[in-house]
Amino acid sequence: MTVTMFRAKLHRLRVTEADLYYEGSITIDEELLEAAGILPYEKVQIVNVNNGRRLWTYTIPAAHGSRTVCLNGPAARLAAKSDEVIAIAYAEMTPEEAEHHEATAVLVGENNEIDDVLALSAEERAHPEDMPEDVPKEAVVA
């Protein structure tokens, strides 16, 4: 048996553009992908903070340091420029592996700059109330 665990996320990315006529996917600054450990062309779930919509797609790397976050193809209809989204990658693992699993959360600022990188351990059982004062509580639960 395996369980699906949250592996990495880019938290509160700001959509910089939407390209309805591109083939599909989400284009994200390569620096942001690397910080989270999310691979180019990896399947991710996108959660739109502004309207609650969720979708599955794959990542395409944008130029390193560009701060680009662009929803492409039909997904472009699910977000507007400046919407906040969360990109989440998951992993399948055994319950034994999950006990020692460490996830990565990259918190970004208003211009998609990296504010902080958190290592979230299943062993520590992190809860919002256990986080430092300056870390948004929704960063742990979204």
25 belongs to the catalytic site: yes
Instruction: Single out the catalytic residue among 25, 66, 90, 121.
Output: 25
58 belongs to the catalytic site: yes
Give the three-state DSSP class for 104.
strand
Q: How many CB atoms lie within 10 A of CB 116?
A: 16
Instruction: Single out the catalytic residue among 41, 58, 82, 121.
Output: 58
**Helix and strand counts by DSSP (H, E) for the chain:** 3, 9
For residues 77 and 89, is the Cβ–Cβ distance under 8 A?
A: no
List residues with catalytic annotation.
Answer: 25, 58
